[in-house]
Structure 1
Amino acid sequence: MNKALLALIMAPILSVSASYAVANEAPEASAEMIQEYTEMCLNWAKDDDISNDELKLYVLNCVNDELEAEGFKKVTDVKI
């Protein structure tokens, strides 16, 4: 019983640790790729009527979603 309980407790911790390790090993995207995604996300923001106050966060999240989907590291800032 104790081993099963320990396994249930440790499983999520190990899963998060493994995900973090994989994320750190992802390559960085080129500046050109980040700029292309930024422009694409800006167009989507216009289509979605995103306000100027929300624009930077919207584009950053959008760019990071695209980068992550392609297996690249996320960025902390985008130039709009």
Structure 2
Amino acid sequence: MKRSLLILFIGFSAVFSALADDKPVADEELLAEFKEYCVEMAEDDGVEGPALPAYLLKCINEELDAEGFQAITKVPN
């Protein structure tokens, strides 16, 4: 009985977790707008060189999250 309840609980947890992370994917135009904004922020903050890609990725993902979109794994071209 305990095993059945545990399996049931794990199953429901997985379903609810998947639903909670079900955000839409941003289109290329929106990503370009966020990238442009984040490049400006990087310039204002004096971020350049090797630190720039990580800064842009974090900034873009923060904007995506604020608007309810899925995060990205690399900075768009």
TM-score scaled by structure 1? 0.71
* Correspondence 1:79 to 2:51: no
Structure 1 residue runs of 5 or longer lacking an equivalent are 1-13
Aligned to 1:34: 31
- Structure 2 distance, partners of 1:78, 1:48, is 18
Residues 19/70 of structure 1: CA separation in 2 closer, same or farther (3 Å cut): farther
SS in 2 for 1:78: coil
Give the alignment partner of residue 22 of structure 1, picking from 16, 20, 23: 20
Aligned residue pair count: 66
- Residues 41-80 of structure 1: matches in 2 within 5 Å? 41-79=38-76
Aligned-residue Cα RMSD (Å) equals 2.1
TM-score scaled by structure 2? 0.74
